[in-house]
């Protein structure tokens, strides 16, 4: 026992460049957790019950507004690190939960149990899936929501195909934005696409902010080390840039 190495007491600083140059999943997850102040990858999972409770209780009808309010509330409740990071796999859980909760709140035939099911399924999408598996957790959230709406299982025909199709569409919508991962951007993009899908495929209509109010509404961009800045329509910098051009 005397030869054992002492346990580290402080996180080892990890740079974005170092993470970018770590192509091995387990090694990346360890370094990524250290960058957030923890030595244990996946520690965010202890926070999942709080996420479930918060999303199930929301009453907003607009899924964009609900998503933003959920994140703001969770940031106040977060206790794993000094501050809740802008990016993280909790978005994988939140997006499908918000989509089904919004349908419930607009009077469609969904209950708290459906919302909880969406949250449970979303939590199964692993961290860092976008870069290591080509599978954005927010985009999978739309497939989860469609699966719940259609009551799909692997034994279904059309219902299963719809879940796959709309996951693929959501993935494409996120991929078109390019850049490094931004969970806020991906969530916005997927939720907006989900609203279109729900109306076209099922006749479910959800309210969302008018187009002008979507521009520059992100409040966490300056806390995100991989922010797309003016490339992102939700970044306030783009709004300011547009105003400057108009003068």
pLDDT at 42: 85
Give the count of beta carbons closer than 10 Å to the beta carbon of residue 26: 9
CA dihedral 71, 10, 14, 37 (to 10 degrees): -10
> Do residues 115 and 101 lie in contact, with contact meaning Cβ atoms separated by under 8 Å?
yes
Assigned domain for 17 exists:
no
- Give Cα separations from 173 to 147, 150, 234 (angstroms): 19, 22, 15
pLDDT at 7: 40
Assigned domain for 147 exists:
yes
> Do residues 229 and 235 lie in contact, with contact meaning Cβ atoms separated by under 8 Å?
yes
Assigned domain for 1 exists:
no
Average confidence (pLDDT) per 10 residues, the chain, 247 residues = 42 79 89 78 92 98 98 96 92 98 98 98 96 97 98 98 98 96 97 98 98 95 94 90 64
Q: How many residues does the chain have?
A: 247
pLDDT at 85: 92
Task: Provide the residue range defining the domain that includes 153.
Answer: 42-209
pLDDT at 203: 98
Q: How many domains, in total, are found in the chain?
A: 1
Assigned domain for 132 exists:
yes
Assigned domain for 118 exists:
yes
Assigned domain for 184 exists:
yes
Assigned domain for 64 exists:
yes
Assigned domain for 20 exists:
no
Residue closest to 140 by CA, chosen among 111, 159, 163: 163
């Amino acid at each position: 026992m005397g030869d054992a190495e002492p346990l580290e007491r402080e996180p080892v600083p990890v740079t974005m460049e170092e993470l970018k140059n770590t192509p091995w999943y387990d090694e990346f997850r360890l370094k990524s957790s250290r960058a957030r102040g923890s030595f244990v990858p996946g520690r965010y999972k202890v926070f999942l019950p709080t996420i479930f409770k918060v999303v199930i209780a929301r009453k907003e009808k607009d899924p964009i507004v609900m998503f933003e309010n959920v994140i703001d509330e969770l940031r106040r409740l977060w206790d794993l690190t000094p501050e809740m990071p802008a990016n993280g796999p909790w978005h994988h859980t939140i997006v499908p939960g918000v989509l089904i909760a919004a349908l419930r709140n607009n009077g469609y035939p969904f209950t708290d149990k459906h919302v909880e099911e969406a949250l449970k399924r979303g939590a199964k999408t692993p961290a860092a899936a976008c870069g290591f598996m080509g599978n954005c957790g927010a985009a999978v959230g739309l497939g989860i929501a469609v699966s719940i709406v259609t009551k799909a299982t692997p034994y279904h025909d059309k219902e299963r195909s719809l879940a796959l199709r709309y996951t693929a569409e959501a993935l494409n919508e996120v991929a078109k934005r390019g850049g490094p991962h931004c969970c806020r951007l991906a969530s916005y993009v997927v939720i907006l696409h989900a609203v279109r899908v729900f109306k076209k495929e099922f006749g479910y209509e959800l309210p969302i902010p008018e187009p002008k109010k979507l521009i520059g509404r992100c409040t966490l961009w300056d806390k995100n080390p991989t922010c797309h800045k003016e490339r992102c329509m939700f970044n306030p910098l783009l709004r300011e840039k547009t105003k400057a051009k108009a003068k």
